[in-house]
Amino acid sequence: MKKPAPTIRDVAAAAQVSTATVSKYLNGAQRFSSKVEAAIDAAVGRLGYKSNPLAKSMITGRTDTIALCLPDIANPHFTCILQGAAAVAAERGYSVLLVDGSHGPERERRTLETLSRRVDGMIVCSRLDEADMPWMADIGKPVVFLGTLAELPLPTVAADDHAGGDMLARHLQMLGHRRIAYLGCPASRRDAQRLGGIRACLEAAGLELVVFDAGSPTLAEGERLCSGLVLGSRRLDAVICYNDLLALGFMKEVANLGLSIPRDLSVAGFDNIPYGKYVTPALTTVDLQSRHMGAAAMDKLLALVRGEPVERCTRIAPRLVLRGSTRNQQLR
């Protein structure tokens, strides 16, 4: 017959203290003398006692779980954010509950409002317009937003997309490119910042930027739109894509059209996803430090959970990664 699992009463009897003392100590609600704590630890180890997470939650009001809402879990950029956040959470004894935010604003809101009662806090990356998110500030749990906000009073962590756009535009300009296009994604809240950085840099140099819009930031969309850019009436010598997925899909179709990158066209993207360095030619990109972004967001959220003050906005500096998909115009 299987031996019954040890209970908190068994631990209390073995340590010669009350069950209330054991409960408060194991749940972190109160400290005791080193002698009492050592006795409890010894009893727990000897008996092989394991606490009940549900009971602990009822006593402390904590679940040791953080919700992380991402708009596209298939995108490697968001996978890296998850990895960074999860690593910090694991170090602090927390679990991460991944939420797929790709099913529309109403479902996203219902899901997060429901989860708010079951987690200690939430990290949210959303494509919702800020005007549609006031409910997020009143959800009753600490929330850290991944991205920039103009007015909503939530702590944020974001990469400097404007600076990243400026970096890529300046790089292409220095290579001698003059007919530059941006393949953007207006559905993303970060598109305007990237476009703004690119446009400001080129306008200062007296160069015109041609803008094309993608419906989604995906491989398939980059492939679909390629011929319209490359074979259109405007002859381009460089294309900056909203993200690496668009850029990689675009590059695949450039090869199918019989053209060569970077001989005929320079291409660059954003995110520095792992796949970018394994294609031929390897993709020039802006590294938005996705893992660091996730880790910084989790650090900030756990500080909020502990009741500590945090900096309102954390801005992460991007880094330009130069590879073979961009080339000096004079070498063509």
Query: Tell me: the pLDDT tens digits for 319-331?
Result: 999 999 998 876 6
Token digits of residue 77: 């950029």
∠ Cα 64 65 66 (to 5°): 130
∠ Cα 68 102 302 (to 5°): 10
Q: Which residues, in sequence order, are CB contacts of 221 under 8 Å at separation 6+?
A: 214, 215, 246, 249
Backbone torsion region of residue 81, taken as left when φ is above 0, otherwise alpha when ψ lies between -120 and 50, otherwise beta = alpha
Q: What's the average model confidence in pLDDT over 59-68?
A: 75
Measured between alpha carbons, how far is 198 from 213 in angstroms, rounded to an integer? 15
- Dihedral in degrees, nearest 10, Cα atoms 27, 32, 36, 39: 30
- Is residue 27's pLDDT more than 70? no
Query: Tell me: the pLDDT tens digits for 74-132?
Result: 899 999 999 999 999 999 989 999 988 777 777 888 888 888 888 999 999 988 888 88
Let me know how long the chain is. 332
- Is residue 332's pLDDT more than 80? no
Confidence of residue 58 (pLDDT cuts 50, 70, 90): very low
pLDDT at 163: 97
C-alpha distances (whole Å) from 74 to each of 82, 101, 314 are 11, 12, 25
- 123-132, 247-256, 262-271, 275-284: which range is least confident on average? 123-132
- Dihedral in degrees, nearest 10, Cα atoms 83, 88, 89, 91: 120
pLDDT at 10: 83
pLDDT at 331: 65
pTM of structure: 0.79
pLDDT at 40: 85
Q: For residue 302, report the phi and psi dihedrals to the nearest 5 degrees.
A: -65, -30
Query: Tell me: the pLDDT tens digits for 197-235?
Result: 999 999 999 999 999 999 999 999 999 999 999 998 888
